[in-house]
Structure 1
Amino acid sequence: MKFAISYGTPAFGTDPDRMIAYAQHAEKCGFEALYMPEHVVLYPGAAFGEMEIPPDLPYVDPLEALSFVAAATSRILLGTGVVLIPYQHPVVLAKRLATIDVLSKGRMRLFTVGLGTLPGEAAALGVDFRSRGRRADEAIDVLRLLWSGGAEGVSYEGEFFNFDNLVSFPHPVGDGMPIHVAGSSRAAARRAGSRGDGFFPGGMLSPEERAAQLALARASALEAGRDPDALEYTRWGGITMSPERAAALAEEGVTRVVVGATSDDPAEQEDQMSAFAERFSLAAP
């Protein structure tokens, strides 16, 4: 099992020195990747379910922030948890992601997408909230198409995106870029299987529902002619989790756990990361 760590500016702030120190210590400890979240805009009254979100939370652009982190590190992979892909134009996004991947020497490997849950955020960006799933499907297809195209160009005709003979270089390092799909719904599980390289569910799901969604993701991969065994399965975990809990997650098919420091004090955050690394015998190559 692989272990990654998240850095949320809504909780930890936007101080650049603190962000870099956190990422460098995570790399030193041997964490596989650093994840960062996204919200493009917030507004008074925005809420996750019944929990209202303070509108002044500082969400930085995750791709800009990860490029900043990449310049100050050398090994740790870069992940998003998550980019709200219906609110991004995939032609622009393909260029941004490939640029980060090339300049970080192939470390933009855990690009994870979701739909977003705030109707006001969709409205601010001119997106019909009800179309998010269809837009996400097309955006994923466009990204993969542009990254695989040659000098002769590629064309696409969809409900939301249309173009003829586009050429987008550079391409990501190696054979394209993995795209992971997040979400707590069965639709997200189907999308992960049919189009994604990984599934990253969240939310307060029952064990039965989690198992059903993973099975659905794998079945969707098989139906799409893809290898269901190649689908990575990522879950959130606590930084105080025990090896026994990690073993239980592995039994459920989990291949990666993402944790986050809980302290607001930078020194204590480093202590939490170090303790986790020691508990699980992580070691940077």
Structure 2
Amino acid sequence: MKFAISYSTASLGVDPEHMVAYARHAEACGFEALYMPEHVVLYRGAVLGSMELPPDLPLVDPLDALSFVAAATSRILLGTGVLLLPYQHPVVLAKRLATIDVLSRGRMRLLTVGLGSLPGEARAVGVDFRSRGRRADEAIDVLRLLWSGGAEGVSFHGEFFDFDDLCSFPKPYGMTTLPIHVGGSSRAAARRAGQRGDGYFPGGMLSPQERATQLDMARSEAEAAGRDPGALEYTRWASISMTRERAEALAAEGVTRVVVNVTSTDRAEQQDEMSALAERFDLPCDDRQR
């Protein structure tokens, strides 16, 4: 099982020196990837589940922030948890993601996309909240089409996106397309992951039975679509203080990657938390961390 770590500026701040130090320490500890979340805009009264979001949370653009992190690191992969795909135009997004991947020499490899759950956020960018699932499905198809297309151009005619003979270069680093993981805690998200995703990253407070049902659903949808269900990665959130027994239990559920958050507000203690997990699970640490 692989271990990744999240950095949310909502709780950890936007100080660039801290962000770089955090990412470099995670890399030195042997974490596979650094994930960042997205909200395009917030507003008074925005609620996620039962929690009202303060409208002044300093949430940076994850792709801009990840490109900044990439310039200060050399190995750690870059991930989103999650990028709100219905609020991005896939023609523009294809160029942005390929650019980051090329400049980071192939590290923009854990893109996780979701639909978003704030109706006001959809309204702010002119997207019909009820259609965002269909819009995301088309966007995934457009991204892969543009990345795989050659100099002769590619065409697409859908409900939301329509174009002829477009060429999008540069291509992802050494690949014809970037992996796209699907996030979300609904059965619709599980079906989307199976039909179109390279991985499934459910969040939320789901029962063990519902998690198992959704994973089975994702794999069944992959098989029905002629895709290899065994190739579908399964990512879950976990505690940074998790035990080996908990990790083994998650692995038994089919989990291939966990993403953790630091709990301390003290920067030195945050690094200690990362180092402790790395030591507990024998991550491939930089010699400086041994």
Shorter-chain TM-score tier: over 0.9
Does the 8 Å CA contact 2:82/2:112 hold for their aligned counterparts?
Answer: yes
Residues 50-94 of structure 1 show CA distances to partners (whole Å, capped at 9, x for unaligned) of 211000001000000000000000000000001000000000000
- Which residue is 1:207 aligned to? 208
Does residue 1:59 correspond to 2:59, yes or no? yes
In 2, the alpha carbon distance for the partners of 1:263 and 1:49 equals 24
- Which residue is 2:165 aligned to? 165
Secondary structure (helix, strand or coil) at the match of 1:54 reads coil
Q: 168-177 vs 141-150, which deviates more?
A: 168-177
- Which residue is 1:247 aligned to? 248
- Which residue is 2:270 aligned to? 269
In 2, the alpha carbon distance for the partners of 1:234 and 1:284 equals 22
Secondary structure (helix, strand or coil) at the match of 1:172 reads coil
Name the amino acid aligned to 1:210. R
- Taking structure 2 as the reference length, what is the TM-score of the superposition? 0.98
The 5 A counterparts of 1:117-132 are 117-132=117-132
Does residue 1:4 correspond to 2:4, yes or no? yes
Question: Which ranges of 4 or more aligned residues in structure 1 deviate by more than 6 Å?
Answer: none
Aligned residue pair count = 285
Quote the sequence identity (%).
78
Name the amino acid aligned to 1:61. D
Secondary structure (helix, strand or coil) at the match of 1:237 reads strand
Deviation at 1:164? 0.1
Does residue 1:177 correspond to 2:178, yes or no? yes
The 5 A counterparts of 1:1-285 are 1-175=1-175, 176-284=177-285
In 2, the alpha carbon distance for the partners of 1:63 and 1:124 equals 20
Does the 8 Å CA contact 2:278/2:285 hold for their aligned counterparts?
Answer: no
In 2, the alpha carbon distance for the partners of 1:117 and 1:124 equals 13
In 1, the alpha carbon distance for the partners of 2:93 and 2:221 equals 26
In 2, the alpha carbon distance for the partners of 1:150 and 1:283 equals 38
In 2, the alpha carbon distance for the partners of 1:265 and 1:236 equals 22
Deviation at 1:173? 1.4
In 2, the alpha carbon distance for the partners of 1:5 and 1:49 equals 23
Secondary structure (helix, strand or coil) at the match of 2:191 reads helix
Does the 8 Å CA contact 2:90/2:143 hold for their aligned counterparts?
Answer: yes
Name the amino acid aligned to 2:223. L
Deviation at 1:208? 0.5
In 2, the alpha carbon distance for the partners of 1:49 and 1:230 equals 31
Name the amino acid aligned to 1:53. L
In 2, the alpha carbon distance for the partners of 1:282 and 1:22 equals 17
Deviation at 1:284? 3.8
Does the 8 Å CA contact 2:38/2:61 hold for their aligned counterparts?
Answer: yes
Residues 80-122 of structure 1 show CA distances to partners (whole Å, capped at 9, x for unaligned) of 0010000000000000000000000000000000000000000
Q: RMSD over aligned Cα, in angstroms?
A: 0.6
Deviation at 1:49? 2.0
In 1, the alpha carbon distance for the partners of 2:204 and 2:8 equals 17
In 1, the alpha carbon distance for the partners of 2:264 and 2:95 equals 36
- Taking structure 1 as the reference length, what is the TM-score of the superposition? 0.99
Name the amino acid aligned to 2:137. D
In 2, the alpha carbon distance for the partners of 1:58 and 1:47 equals 16
Deviation at 1:193? 0.5
